[in-house]
Amino acid sequence: MTPRIRLLSALLSERGVLALLVASQILAFLYTLISATAFWQSLGLTSLFIHFTAFLSLAVIAIVRHAVEKRSDLIEAGILISVFVLCTVVTSTAFPYGFTLLGWIDEAKIELSLWRNIAICLCIITLFAHFLAIFTDNIRKVKALSQAELEALHARIRPHFLYNSLNTVAELTHIDPNAAEKSALALADLSRAAMSTQNIVPLESEISLCKAYLALEQWRFAERLRVEWELDSVLGDVLIPALILQPLVENAVSHGVEPNPNGADIRIHIHCSKRTLTVVIFNSYDAKLKPTHQGHGIGISNIRRRLALHYNQPIDFKTEASQDSYTVSFSLPL
């Protein structure tokens, strides 16, 4: 389920604060341009007043946000407007005393009328809240579409996985019926893990799924399938999107081991640092040999798209092909 984008949370985001800062400065400039004679001095004091009011309001909203985050959008908008009006009352009352003590109010000839400031604040913040609500609604729609596409891609990879695994069992029935029976039981356990509805899984679970899949293929290819794992001793509690590693390992088997009578070497390297998880999957490959079947062609493109959607940022995902090897590597932020 896509998390809901809250109005107050959007205001406290980097883009929300920047938008408020720009809107405040534009308001200060327009007000000074219309009413002031000592332009630059008045602009400085007016900007100070408006920015102080804006950031005081943000501080109050940051404090009360968690108490009202489960309320409706209408209540959130009402709280947003009320906080800004209340802070305007406070600053409109406090600033004249400060300006008088500093001797600024007479020089700049700034009239801080309480009701005038409240009226201006009410109009501006209502308009700002309206546009902010439109923005958050658009973000919700974009995230909902991305989540729907992500779930569709995730659902699409499962039949691809089961199709190839069933092919393995079918081939074993002709070669070794006893092994076929055992592989069918192993496939049942494997399918249970693959059909899980979880979108995020521990890295160790994904590695276990890959090992179970390779064990299933080992019955079919025997010594032709040579696998080497290079794993960090401590992987920690790293979470990754489900069914990311297994399709890549399956791709290495289908294009490296299966078409080659001499088999192929597969090396899987997984390194975890403080900020990055790096995965490299290498398989030896004979470019002269054609794959025994073309498959669905969705493995790598599916994973590339799912990672981009999940992390909402460009992912360093690379494929390198030569005459004798094929390598897939990617890095994920932690």
What confidence tens digit (pLDDT) does each residue in 143-165 have? 665 565 656 555 555 555 566 66
| pLDDT for 305 | 80
CB atoms within 10 A of CB 3: 8
∠ at Cα 263 (258, 268), nearest 5°?
90
The gap between the terminal CA atoms of the chain, to the nearest Å, is 22
Q: What DSSP line would sit under 242-311, residue for residue? A: SSSHHHHHHHHIIIIITT-TT-EEEEEEEEE-SSEEEEEEEEE--TTSPPS----S-HHHHHHHHHHHHH
| pLDDT for 63 | 86
| pLDDT for 146 | 59
| pLDDT for 36 | 58
Query: Would you state the CATH architecture of domain 145-333?
Result: 2-Layer Sandwich (3.30)
| pLDDT for 280 | 96
Give the tokens for residue 225: 């399938």
Give the tokens for residue 12: 């406290």
The whole-angstrom separation of Cα 314 and Cα 316 is 7
| pLDDT for 267 | 96
Cβ 251 vs Cβ 299: under 8 Å: yes
| pLDDT for 145 | 56
Q: Which helix (H) or strand (E) holds 326?
A: strand 325-333
Q: Where are the domains of the chain?
A: 7-112, 145-333
The whole-angstrom separation of Cα 40 and Cα 26 is 14
| pLDDT for 295 | 47
Give the tokens for residue 5: 């984008």
Q: Which helix (H) or strand (E) holds 137?
A: helix 114-175
- CA 80 to mean position of chain CA atoms: 27
Cβ 270 vs Cβ 230: under 8 Å: yes
| pLDDT for 177 | 76
| pLDDT for 308 | 82
The SS3 of residue 249 is helix
The whole-angstrom separation of Cα 29 and Cα 211 is 65
| pLDDT for 236 | 67
Does pTM top 0.75 for this prediction?
no
Give pLDDT < 50 ranges for the chain. Answer: 1-4, 106-111, 295-297
